[in-house]
Copies of this chain bind each other. A is one copy, B any other.
Amino acid sequence: MEKDIFTNISPLDARYYKSNPKLLDALACYLSESAVIRYEARVEAAIITVMEKYGLVKKGAGKEIHDAYMHITPEEVYAEEERTRHNIRALVNVLQRHVSNELAPFIHLGATSEDITATAQVLRIRDAFFKIIIPKCIDFMDTVLDIVKREASTPQIGRTHGQHAVPITVGYIFAGYADRFGGRLKKIIESVHELRGKLSGAVGAYNAFSILLDDPRQFEEDMLSELGLRPANFSSQIVEPEFLLDLIHSVVSAFGVLAQIADDMRNLQRTEIGEMAEKFEKGQVGSSTMPHKRNPWNFEHVKSMWKEFTPRILTRYYDQISEHQRDLTNSASGRFVVEILTAFTLAVDRLLGQLQKLVIDYEGLKKNLKATDGMFLAEPLYILLAGGGVKKAHELVKEITLKAQRENKTIFDVARETEAIREVLNKESWNKLEKDPSVYTGISAKRAKIILTIWSSWSTKIRKECHGYKGVVDV
């Protein structure tokens, strides 16, 4: 059923669809209502396949239903649902029309609707992750790692509380982004692998299948194995909600890392700081009234999407509760989970695009490193003094910095005027720092390279894993 996208309500289906139609079309293969129906039909087919193995249905039934299920359209199912007011019964009725009279009664036999919807949801989500989302995240990792490699030794003033602290390197900062995002991506992958299907019937006790079979738990395991899945130890009408919750937690917390990067970047693009910037495209307009403006609007966009989607995890915590063997108050809400996944993937892609062409202003970096005339060497000065056994070294150096500010001198000037510390000033380590304060970056470069090595090989491995991934549904 066609409709003008500009009449859609959700920005995901209008403005943000237009911003990235290729990605959204790819995700829709798994996350749209059309995908819901296709995957649900696939699960019904899997049951018949295993029934055939168990001799519950005639030989060839598996092939028959597989030939049929791909032809089901959402339109048909929705039309039938208007009559039944029950979406899975509608699907079953439609499927029955596409198979022989003999096979028809066995479709969905023994299953409850949730067996189908829950299992199909896991399949769809798993496919979306291994085919689209994780590869996109790996592209993102590689982009970040490229910066780590290139800028491992580029000094930058470190900032805490928004104040100049001591230097660090650009590469080390991006190594931190890689390590944090990589850690989240690991959690995402683990959580996807932990998702479970079910075929345990209306209250999770295999009541209906126990009428048909001696070992309905084994039947469930065989059916799910057909789809590359496993059951949990327990289910009520629904799969234990914690498996999906863990996944959403890992996604939302990965989104948090994107927001951190976006925030850092937009701050580094501040007029007064000017260390990094979004590339400004030819023809682009910064402001409708201030022609000189160059805004970090993509970084702002990522932060804004994070603000929109993070609170939505709460619904997942609330959906942990379902009265008794199930109430349906997690049903409509559960349908919106796909929005979080979509928004996250869009944000990964947006940030990836910006980082690939990130403008680093090396002059800006240097200017800021020099801005306080080495005042940040107060730290090593204090370390050298206290390490040499000077008492109250911290207070002494604080006095030096205060005096420098008061008298508009450098820390070096005042240090030289201070009797008590003269000895230290002659040490080689201090002289090296005085000559070029920006070398005071600790072991930033070394750690950046170690972290690069760790994640580069992991990224290669995961990319291969995604490449080899085969789903069970043709989309």
A:114-159 near B, CB below 8 Å: 158-159
Q: Which stretch from A60-68, A165-173, A463-471 is at the chain B interface?
A: A165-173
Contact of A318 among B28, B86, B307, B324 (CB under 8 A): B307
| Interface status of A462 (Cβ within 8 A of chain B) | no
The answer to whether B288 touches A86 (Cβ under 8 A) is: yes
B320 and A304 contacting across the interface, CB-CB below 8 Å: no
Cα distance A179–B159 when bound, in Å? 33
A4/B328 contact (C-beta < 8 A), A205-B443, A284-B86, A376-B292 known? no
Q: Does A384 have its Cβ within 8 Å of any Cβ on chain B?
A: yes
Assess the B447–A234 pair: CB atoms within 8 A: yes
8 A Cβ contacts from A269-288 to B: 269-273, 281, 283-288
B319 touches A332 (CB 8 A): no
A104 vs B88: C-alpha distance in the bound complex, in angstroms? 57
Chain B residues whose C-beta falls within 8 Å of the C-beta of A49 in the assembled complex: none
Verify if A297 is at the interface (C-beta below 8 Å from B). Answer: yes
Q: From B6, B27, B288, give the contact of A1 (CB < 8 A).
A: B6
Known: A161-B297, A308-B332. A202 touches B290 (CB 8 A): yes
Q: Is the Cβ of A208 less than 8 Å from the Cβ of B379?
A: yes
Q: Is A434 part of the binding interface, using a Cβ–Cβ cutoff of 8 Å?
A: no
- Tell me, yes or no, whether A349 is within 8 Å of chain B by CB: no
Interface centre among A168, A270, A297 (most CB of B within 10 A): A270
Complex formed: what's the CA distance from A305 to B294 in Å?
A: 33
Minimum CB–CB distance from A104 to chain B (whole Å) comes to 6
Given contacts A288-B113, A315-B307, contact A8 B4 (CB under 8 A): no
Q: Which of A178-200 contact B (CB under 8 A)?
A: 179-180, 183-184, 187
Is A368's CB under 8 angstroms from B204's CB?
no
**Inter-chain contacts of A172 with B (CB < 8 A):** 204-205
Q: A379 contacts B207, CB within 8 Å? A: yes
Q: Which residue of B lies closest to A183 (CB)?
A: B242
Other-chain residue from B289, B312, B429 in contact with A311 (beta carbon distance below 8 A): B312
Q: Is the interface of A mostly helix, strand, loop or mixed?
A: helix
Taking a contact as CB atoms under 8 Å apart, the answer to whether A24 and B9 are in contact is yes
In the bound complex, do residue A291 and residue B398 qualify as a contact, i.e. CB atoms below 8 Å apart? Answer: yes
Which of B85, B269, B311, B411 is the one whose CB lies under 8 Å from A281? B85
Q: Is A435 engaged at the interface, CB distance under 8 Å to the other chain?
A: no
Tell whether, in the assembled complex, residue A307 and residue B333 are in contact, meaning their CB atoms are under 8 Å apart: yes
Q: Is A328 a contact of B307 with CB atoms below 8 Å?
A: no
List residues of A (311-349) whose CB comes within 8 Å of B's CBs.
311-315, 317-336, 338-339, 342
Q: Of the listed stretches A209-217, A221-229, A352-360, name the one at the interface; the rest are far from the partner chain.
A: A209-217
* B321 A291 Cβ-Cβ under 8 A: no
The winner among A163, A295, A440 for most chain B CB atoms within 10 A is A163
Closest Cβ of chain B to A196, distance in Å, is: 11
Given A175-B234, A204-B168, A317–B162 Cβ distance below 8 Å?
no
Residue on B nearest A445 in the bound complex, by CB:
B205
Whether a CB of chain B sits under 8 angstroms from the CB of A41 is: no
Contacts A10-B12, A161-B328, A176-B236 supplied; 11 other A-B pairs, CB < 8 Å = A2-B2, A6-B32, A9-B339, A83-B283, A161-B266, A161-B296, A179-B232, A202-B379, A249-B253, A297-B331, A311-B311
Could you give 29 example pairs across A and B, Cβ below 8 Å? A7-B25, A11-B336, A15-B33, A109-B383, A110-B289, A112-B289, A161-B266, A161-B326, A162-B270, A163-B286, A163-B296, A168-B203, A172-B204, A173-B236, A179-B232, A203-B442, A205-B441, A207-B442, A208-B379, A208-B442, A210-B442, A266-B327, A267-B323, A272-B368, A300-B329, A300-B331, A307-B319, A307-B329, A312-B312
